[in-house]
Structure 1
Amino acid sequence: MRQVVLDTETTGLSWEKGNRIVEVGCIELVERRPTGRHFHRYFNPGREMEAGAQEVTGLTLDFLQDKPRFETAVDEFIEFIRGAELIIHNASFDVGFLDYELSLAGAHFGRITDHASVLDTLAMARERYPGQRNSLDALCRRLGVDNAHRKLHGALLDAELLAEVYLGMTSGQADLGLVASHEPEAGTGPGAGLAAVLAAAPRRVLRASEAERAAHEARLRKIAGKAGRVLWPLPEAADS
C-alpha cells in the first residue's frame, strides 16, 4: 500500500474567506515504511498572513513574496499523491483548502478525492482516545514521539511527526513482517530520521516458557482427542 502523509499551512483558518495555502509538506510511505520521497513547497498566497497564522508558522509575506503561486505546482502535486491514501490530521481542514486551490487552478483538476483517498487521523484518535486531547502535540506525548524541535508549525515537519504518530496508533500485525518489506532509501533529507528510527528499532523475540509449552501441548492433545487430528504435530510426531 502506498500512503502519503500530508500537512498544509495557510494564511488563516477559513478558505471561504479567501485564505490560501502557503506551504504543503508530504512524506511517502510504502507498506508502512518511509521511502525517502517527499513533496515540499512554499507558495506566494497573494495576500497577507492573518496574525494568528503568522504567529504559529513564523511565515511572513516578505518570505513568501518570491515563492511561486500554488497553481504552478498543481500537476506535480497531483502526480505525487495520485492513487495514494492521504493521511491527514483534521483532514476536513486541509482537504477544504486543497479543493479550493484546485478550483482556482482550473475546474478540470477536480477535487482531492478524485486523485487519492483520505484517512483522518484526528477521527481515528478520537475513536481510540475518547474524551482526551488529540492534537498532534498531545498525540506525540501520548505515543512517545519526540516533538521537542517543534517550536513552530511547519508542513513538512508536521507531516514527519504525523507519520510517526500514525504508525504508533496503528502498530500491530502489519508490523510483524506479514506485508512485503520496502527498505527506506538512505539519506538525510525529510523522512530520513523516521526511516532511521524504524530501521534501528530492536525486535524483541519472545519464547514460550516450559509451563507455556506444556499447556500448549495439553491443549493440542485435548483437541486431538475430540477431533482426531490437529494441524500442529504433537511432540512425538514432530520428533519422528
Structure 2
Amino acid sequence: MSDTLIYAMSTRGKLNLEQFNELFRRVYSPSFKQVEESVKVDVRRHTVRILDSLGYCEFDFDKRMVYMCKPSLMLLPFFGLPKAVLTGARSPFLVQKLKTAIKKHRDKVVLKHLIHSGVNEVIPITLYVEAIDIETVRKIAKDAQIACDTSCPAAWVMANFSSSLDNIRKSLNFESQVEPNWRRRVFSKDRLVFSGFEVGNMANYLAEYKDPVSQQLHHWLWHDKYAAPVDRDWGR
C-alpha cells in the first residue's frame, strides 16, 4: 500500500500535512476498519519516518509541508557488483521508463524487487539495479532520465556527516530522573530498532516513552539513574 501512497504523493510534488493525512487515510482506511486510533497514529508516524529517512520525501513540520524528492538512483554500499536503489518521487510511468532502460542493457544489468512485510510493510517496494559496473548504472539513469550520483554510496556520506555518540553525550545535560510510568521501548544496538523488551546493558540505554494523553514520543538517554532528553534524529 505504500506504493499507492507514494504514487499519489508524487502526482503533487509538494503537499501540506493535512493533504498528506487525507491521502494516508484514503490509502489505509480499508485495513483500518477495526484498528484502534492509537495504532493508526503509530502506523502513520512510522510511515512518515520511513518515507523521510529513505529519501522518498522530506517532511517540514515547521511549515507543515511535505516535499517529494526528485527520482534518483543512489549507490548502495556493495561487495561485488555495484547496486543502486531508486528513491524519491515515483510513478508507474517512471518505473516503466526504468524497466525500458534496463531492457536496453539487459546483458549488463538486472532490476530487482524487494517486498517488505511485518512492521516494514509501510516501506514501498524497493527497486534496485545491479550492474556489471558503475558506468552501466550511469547509462541506465541517463536513459530513464533519473538523477544519479555514483561518486560515493549515500550511506557513507550520511555516516561521515552524522554526529558521533561521544559528541552527543558531551552536549547533553544529564540529571537525576525518575522514570515516567509510560509505555517504554528500549533501543537495541544489535537489531537497530526500539523494542518492548529490555536489551543489553540496562545501565546505559536509549529509551522511548509514549505520553498516554498526547501520544507524543519522548526519548531519554540513560546513564545509571541519570537521564537527558534527546532528539531521536540526532544522527541525521
Structure-1-length-normalised TM-score:
0.21
- Higher normalized contact order (CA 8 Å, seq sep 6+, divided by chain length): 1
Between structures 1 and 2, the one with greater helix share: 1
Question: Larger C-alpha radius of gyration, 1 or 2?
Answer: 1
Give me the TM-score of the superposition, normalised by structure 2: 0.21
Structure that is richer in strand per residue: 2
